[in-house]
Amino acid sequence: MAKLKTTYFCQNCGQQSAKWMGRCPTCGEWNTIVEELVQKDEPEKGGWRSPSSGPGSVKVAPKPKAIHAINYEEQPRVRTTDAELNRVLGGGIVPGSLVLIGGEPGIGKSTLLLQIALSLSGMRVLYVSGEESEQQIKMRAERLDTPTSDCHVMTETSTQNIFRVVEHFEPEILIVDSIQTMQSSLVESGAGSVSQVRECTAEFMKYAKESSVPVFMIGHITKEGSLAGPKVLEHMVDTVLTFEGDRHTTYRILRTTKNRFGSTDELGIYEMLGTGLRQVTNPSEILISQRDEALSGVTIGSMLEGNRPLMIETQALVSVATYGTPQRSSTGFDAKRLNMLLAVLEKRGGFRLGQQDVFLNIAGGLRVEDPAIDLAVCAAVVSSYEDIAIPSTVAFAAEVGLGGEVRAVSRIESRIAEAEKLGFKQIFISKFNMKGLDTRDFKISIKPVSRLDEVFQGVLL
């Protein structure tokens, strides 16, 4: 008979202890220890069992191998029809990988994975849902503009029943929606608890590694925006994706916060339509607003997200401080860096911004960390301060130093090529980027500068 045991878990880090404590000794968080009833069962009675670990099999203790004696053959990735997902994953789906996708309720996580499952023609896909019925999934699938595929749907929350079906169905891709609704018979506590989430994730991870079948899991998030469950959940999986966006707008951003098989700097952009998620292949077009007339305080800067160059719109508003202390507000840009750039403009450029309210906004809802946007920010602030519009055909790609110098940035060729593709006529870059740059490859006018005053003389006079 199974043994029942009362154990205490930390909801933040998953730390297990024998008694209740007010503060977790591992992560230091207060009031995160909860009591759970754990059922210790025989390993053969539940969970995933590989074909070589059946009832009659002889277990051999593993032996360490020298690293040069390990045979390694790179397996080809599974390329989906979703180019945005392929880019975020690092080139496609890795066989045997465990991918966790998190996001706010209603943001489109289930729609994204169902759309991917329906688009994988020629592959057996098993979509396991613990939140919706088969009829609900069918209704969503009919709205999606995707071809007919070999996608099978099952509504189940018991991992033991899921693995019994998986053993006979032998899918090539497994999708679980969501991990918080799954429940293992090896743990007595309810679904969504720390022990259940950890145990179910461990079972799916074991299945993915032993069968080389990629597994996608949807994860809920807390009101703070982090993935629900213990922090160890993110350490167990291979890739953690976050689906971001405002439910009241149509655009969604797929980011990578952890990726064992690729870069964590890539992002994918989608547009939510009635027929599903549309891939935005040229995000620069949606990040730059269409204006009928020239406005002061608006500039276009070049930034990099991983290997992807983006042209984004920077908006600044400078006005006299009428309430005493000047305000400094920025959306999508580091506030401390904004204060530094304002100090540079006042000290090196002679602009009296000490008694001015300065508001800065990065259009499109992006969070910019690339220093190449500095020159566009400075130009937008000065444009609003002088109330002189900068032509919409001018772009900027350079970093600004504390001495007012314009510094070089990386991958300037791809930035210039992106600006030229979108129809810009001029781009201001650092003259230190001109070394090794062949201007004959570009039709756009390249303006190399070394100081801020050269930039302002070129666009404001």
To the question of whether residue 106 is assigned a binding role by annotation, the answer is yes
Q: Is 417 helix (H, G, I), strand (E, B) or coil?
A: helix
To the question of whether residue 431 is assigned a binding role by annotation, the answer is no
* Residues with Cβ within 8 Å of residue 23, at least 6 apart in sequence: 29, 30
* Residues with Cβ within 8 Å of residue 180, at least 6 apart in sequence: 191, 192, 197, 219, 220, 228, 229
To the question of whether residue 104 is assigned a binding role by annotation, the answer is yes
CB 271 within 8 A of CB 299: no
Residue 84: closest CA among 269, 256, 218, 251: 269
Residue 265: closest CA among 257, 273, 253: 257
CB 10 within 8 A of CB 194: yes
To the question of whether residue 109 is assigned a binding role by annotation, the answer is yes
To the question of whether residue 105 is assigned a binding role by annotation, the answer is yes
Distance CA 109, CA 322 (A): 46
To the question of whether residue 388 is assigned a binding role by annotation, the answer is no
First to last CA, the chain: 86
To the question of whether residue 122 is assigned a binding role by annotation, the answer is no
Q: What is the DSSP string of 81-125?
A: S-HHHHHHHTSSBPTT-EEEEEE-TTSSHHHHHHHHHHH-TTS-E
Distance CA 166, CA 175 (A): 12
Q: Is 335 helix (H, G, I), strand (E, B) or coil?
A: helix
Structure tokens at 432: 């230190």
Q: Is the bond into 178 cis (omega within 30 degrees of 0)?
A: yes
To the question of whether residue 110 is assigned a binding role by annotation, the answer is yes
Residue 381: closest CA among 330, 448, 309: 330
220 phi and psi angles, rounded to 5 deg: -75, 160
Residue 268: closest CA among 303, 310, 313, 235: 310
User: What does the CA dihedral 143, 149, 153, 158 come to, rounded to 10 degrees?
Assistant: -130
Other Cβ atoms closer than 10 A to 232? 17
Binding-site positions: 103-110
Binding-site positions for ATP: 103-110
